[in-house]
Amino acid sequence: MANQSFDDRDGMIWLDGKLVPWREANVHMLTHAMHYASAVFEGQRAYNGVIYALSEHSERLIRSAEILGFTIPYTRDQIDQACKDVLAASGMQDAYMRPIAWRGSEQMGVAAQSSTIHLGIACWAWGAYFGAEALAKGLKLEIAPWRRPAPYTAPTSSKAAGLYMICTLSKHHATDHGYDDALMLDWRGQVAEATGANVFFVKDGEIHTPTPDCFLDGITRRSVMRLAEKRGIKVIQRAIWPEEMEGFEQCFLTGSAAEVTPVGSVGPWTFEVGDITRQMMADYAALVRGALSNS
């Protein structure tokens, strides 16, 4: 399955209000989203047949679209139910899910206010995002050659498809040079996030994480912060400069795909896969599988 093309699979995809065979969930080449990135999406996981933080993801999808100037023609509850229907149709208990909304093909050009808004939802089996070995040893990250843009230059609070172009470029650059992923700085030169996950650091028993003022305040990020605080671990959100990484003891990434993944190094700086990192990994795994409360 890992090498199977995503356009040629068995199963069903929810598209504009109904489940359709996977291979028939197609759009025209002149779809506005393909040419001008007018699309927003979510990434979420199901565990034991339950989609973690489903309504939070659906609400963020709706907000992301509104930031890009379009309205998804479904309510949060309808999107929630559609996601459940897709998961049920898949027959899977554990799955990764991808809702996406986009402008259609009625208009071509920068302006597209009259385009039809579409919504699709797919799910598939997806294990550890970075592979099982990373969970034990920690990731090797490069400093990305691209930076997260300022919020006055891009809609940084939207989970918009176009914002991930520089993530792809940075990820490719990292893997081409023998790294697992890249740590992105922001336009000021401060630490921001990895290409698809938020970042945390540990020092003297406290957790430090960048303030999300030009990148997504991830749903997994917030969950892990609550879990840490329940453990009595202080979480500090602040501006972090790259040179500060020399003094941090541990580092880990969080995201719906990445879950909680330890980091062994960022550029020249190295970290241990320590007790706090392992505790957050264990607590998050228990949370999403229903064995731990996040209230």
If one counts the domains in the chain, the total is 2
What's the pLDDT at 1? 43
For residue 270, with 0-12 CB atoms within 10 Å meaning exposed, 13-18 middle and 19 or more buried, which class applies?
middle
Residue 292 confidence class, pLDDT cut points 50, 70, 90: low
| Claim to verify: residue 114 and residue 149 sit in the same structural domain | no
139 with 248, same domain: the answer is: yes
| CATH classification of the domain holding 138 | 3.20.10.10
Same domain for 73 and 138: no
* Residue finishing a domain among 70, 101, 124: 124
Residue 215 lies in a domain: yes
What pTM value is reported for the model? 0.95
Q: What element of type H or E holds 220?
A: helix 219-230
Q: Are residues 83 and 140 in the same domain?
A: no
Q: Which domain holds residue 44?
A: 12-124
- Tell me the torsion sign for CA atoms 19, 20, 23, 29: negative
**CA-wise closest residue to 25 among 93, 89, 92, 115:** 89
Residues 139 and 282 in one domain: yes
pLDDT digits (tens, 9 = 90+) for 217-244: 999 999 999 999 999 999 999 999 999 9
Query: Percent helix, strand, coil in the chain (nearest 5)?
Result: 30, 30, 40
Sequence-separated (6 or more) residues with CB below 8 Å from residue 81: none
Contacts of 70 (CB under 8 A, 6+ apart): 38, 101, 103, 115, 117
Same domain assignment for residues 189 and 51: no
Report if residue 6 sits inside a domain: no
CA torsion angle 57 222 158 289 (round to 10): -30
Quick one: pLDDT band at residue 111, thresholds 50, 70, 90? very high
**What share of the chain has pLDDT > 70, as a percent?**
98
* Same domain, yes or no: 147 and 257: yes
Residues 143 and 161 in one domain: yes
Query: Which letter, b or e, does each residue of 275-290 get, where b requires 16 or more Cβ atoms within 10 Å of its Cβ?
Result: ebbeebbebbeebbee
Instruction: Report the CATH number that the domain containing residue 22 is assigned in CATH.
Output: 3.30.470.10
What is the structure's pLDDT at 295? Answer: 54
22 located within any domain: yes
Whether residue 258 sits in one domain with residue 207: yes
* Paired sense of beta strands 198-203 and 95-103, if any: unpaired
- pLDDT, average across residues 237-264: 97
How far apart CA 146 and CA 283 sit, in angstroms, is 33
Same domain, 217 and 172: yes
Structural tokens at position 289: 């599988």
* 94 falls within a domain: yes
Residue 136: per-residue pLDDT? 84
248 and 204 assigned to the same domain: yes
Q: Among this protein's residues, is 140 annotated catalytic?
A: no
Neighbours of 41 (CB within 10 A): 18
Q: Which helix (H) or strand (E) holds 51?
A: strand 50-51
Contact (Cβ atoms closer than 8 angstroms) between residue 228 and residue 251:
no
Catalytic residue, chosen from 18, 137, 159, 234, is: 159
Domain assignment of residue 7, yes or no: no
CA 200 – CA 251 distance, rounded (Å):
6
| pLDDT greater than 60 at residue 68 | yes
Confidence of residue 135 (pLDDT cuts 50, 70, 90): confident
Is 53 a member of any domain? yes
Does residue 201 sit within a domain?
yes
Residue 231: how many other CB atoms lie within 10 Å: 12
* Residue where one domain finishes, among candidates 84, 102, 124: 124
Q: Which of 124, 143, 169 is the last residue of a domain?
A: 124
The verdict on 107 and 153 lying in the same domain is no
pLDDT of residue 291 exceeding 90: no
Mean pLDDT of the residues in the chain: 96
Give the residue-averaged pLDDT of 198-220: 98
- What whole-number percentage of the chain has pLDDT above 90? 93
